[in-house]
Structure 1
Amino acid sequence: MAVQYGIKHRRTTPYNPKANGLTEKSNGILCKVLKKVTQSFVYDWDLKLPGVLFAFWTAQKTSIGCMPYYLCHGMEAVMPVELEVHTLQVQEEDRLETKESMPDRKVNLLRPHEEREKVLKQAVQLQGNRKKRYDRKLKKRLDLKAGDLALLFDSRKEHFPGKLNLNWKGPYKVIEVFDNGSVQFATMDGEELETRINKHSVKKYLM
C-alpha cells in the first residue's frame, strides 16, 4: 500500500512489537476469538468484529479490576438480553432521564474519572513490578559493547521452531551500540548488516 500510494515509511526505532505490549496483547486476543468464530467462513471476519469487540470490552479484566467498557464509556454495558427483559440497570437508566435525577447523574459522571485514576495507578505499579522481573532476566543479555560477539533471534522460527532447530543465528560482531536500544552488527567476515537490531532480540555469545 505504501509503495502504491507513494508513502515513505520511516521507522523511528528498530522493529520491536514488545515495546507496544498492551496493544499487541489485545490484538492477539481479538485474533484468537476471530479465528474461533470464523472457522466455517473466514472472509466475513469484518462482520463478526463488532460482536468480538463487544465481548472483549465487557469481559472482566483482572489487571484493571473491571470491564474496559466501563472505563471507556463511564457506565456498565447493557447486554442484548436486557433489551428484552428489563433489568434494574435498564430501569435505572430510564429513571435518570428525568429532571429529578440530576444529582444522581452528576455523581455518575464523576465516578468514572475516579475509577480511571485508580486503575491507572494500579496499572503503573503492576507494569513497574513486571519490568523489574523482566530486566533481571535481560541484564546479562543487554550488556553489550563494541567488539563483542552476539547471537540474533531468528523471528522466522518463533512460531514454527521445529523440534531440533535453534532459534538463534550467528555469531555476529557488535560494531556500535546506540542510545535508542539498537545495535549495529557485522558478520564474522566484516560485512555490516543492512539494518540495526533491537537489543531485546540479541543475547551475548559466550565462547
Structure 2
Amino acid sequence: MKFIWKNIIYCFGIPREIISDNGRQLQGRKIQEWCQGLRIKQRFTTVAHPQANGQVEVTNRILTTPRGSTGETPFSLVYGTEAIIPAELGMPSHRVMNFSEECNENLLRENLDLIEELREKAFLRIQRYKNIMINSYNKRVKSRSFQVGDLVLRRVDALKPIGKLDPTWEGPYKVTSVLGKGAYELEDPEGRPLPRPWNVHNLKKYFA
C-alpha cells in the first residue's frame, strides 16, 4: 500500500481501478478494505494465462508509441524522457547496455529543463493536426444550407429503434427559422412546430 500511495496516488491521484496478478499481497483483506475505502476497483489477471496480461501490454504500447498528433510519446510528455520497455530488458538495447548512472542523472535534469519546450512543440503540432483534419473534413463534406420556407427531410431520430427496411428519413417539414451555425426550426405539414432545432447534418432537401 505504501508503494501505491507514494508512486501512484501522490503523483497521479486516486485510480479508478488497479489491474494486477494474483499475488497474495494484493488479495489480503487489509488491501481490499483499503481499496474499497478509496473506491478503487481491484481486477486480477487469470491464473496461468499469460494472454490475460494483454491489457497491460496494450497500455504500455500506447504510452511508449509516438502519437501522430503530437509527434511524441505520452510518457515523454509527462516525464521528459522515454520509458524503458520490457523488451529492452530481454534483449538489451544500446541505451540499456551503455547505461551510466551519472550520465543518466545529468540527462534527466537536462530533459526536465526542456520539458516545457517539448510540451509547447507538441501543442503546436496538435493545432496543426487539428487544422489538417478540419480541412480534410471540409473537402469531403458538401456544405448545404436552407432558407425559410424550404421543404426538407429529417433524419429519423437515432433514439427511435428502426428496422433494416424502415426509412431513415421522414418528412417533409418546412423550415420556419434559421438560427445560425447550421441549426433550423421546423414545422410539420399541419403547421405544428417541432420541439427543438435540427442541425443541417440531419436534414436534406425535399424534392416533390
Aligned to 2:111, which of 105, 111, 114? 105
Unmatched segments (≥5 aa) in structure 1: 1-44
Identity in percent: 22
Map Cα deviations across residues 83-108 of structure 1 (whole Å, 9 max, x no partner): 7776555676955663x446633565
What residue is the counterpart of 1:156 in the other structure?
Answer: 158
- TM-score, normalised on structure 2? 0.54
CA distance in 2, matches of 1:60, 1:155: 39
CA distance in 1, matches of 2:67, 2:185: 40
Q: Which amino acid aligns with 1:112?
A: L
Relative contact order, higher structure (CA 8 A, sep 6+): 1
CA distance in 1, matches of 2:153, 2:94: 60
- For the pair shown, the structure with the greater C-alpha radius of gyration is 2
Shift of 1:153: 1.1
Map Cα deviations across residues 33-83 of structure 1 (whole Å, 9 max, x no partner): xxxxxxxxxxxx9959x8465554445544554544444554434435557
Map Cα deviations across residues 13-48 of structure 1 (whole Å, 9 max, x no partner): xxxxxxxxxxxxxxxxxxxxxxxxxxxxxxxx9959
Is this contact kept in 2: 1:172–1:188, CA < 8 A? yes
1:126 aligns with 2:127: no
What residue is the counterpart of 2:183 in the other structure?
Answer: 182
CA distance in 2, matches of 1:128, 1:82: 39
> Structure 1 residues 87, 178: CA separation in 2 closer, same or farther (over 3 Å shift)?
same
Is this contact kept in 2: 1:174–1:185, CA < 8 A? yes
Unmatched segments (≥5 aa) in structure 2: 1-40, 46-54
Q: Aligned to 2:192, what secondary structure does the other structure show? A: coil
| Greater helix proportion | 1
Q: Aligned to 1:188, what secondary structure does the other structure show? A: coil
Q: RMSD over aligned Cα, in angstroms?
A: 4.1
Q: Which amino acid aligns with 2:204?
A: K
- TM-score, normalised on structure 1? 0.54
Matched positions, count? 157
Map Cα deviations across residues 131-177 of structure 1 (whole Å, 9 max, x no partner): 4314xx3323xx21111111111243899661x33211111111111
What residue is the counterpart of 2:19 in the other structure?
Answer: none
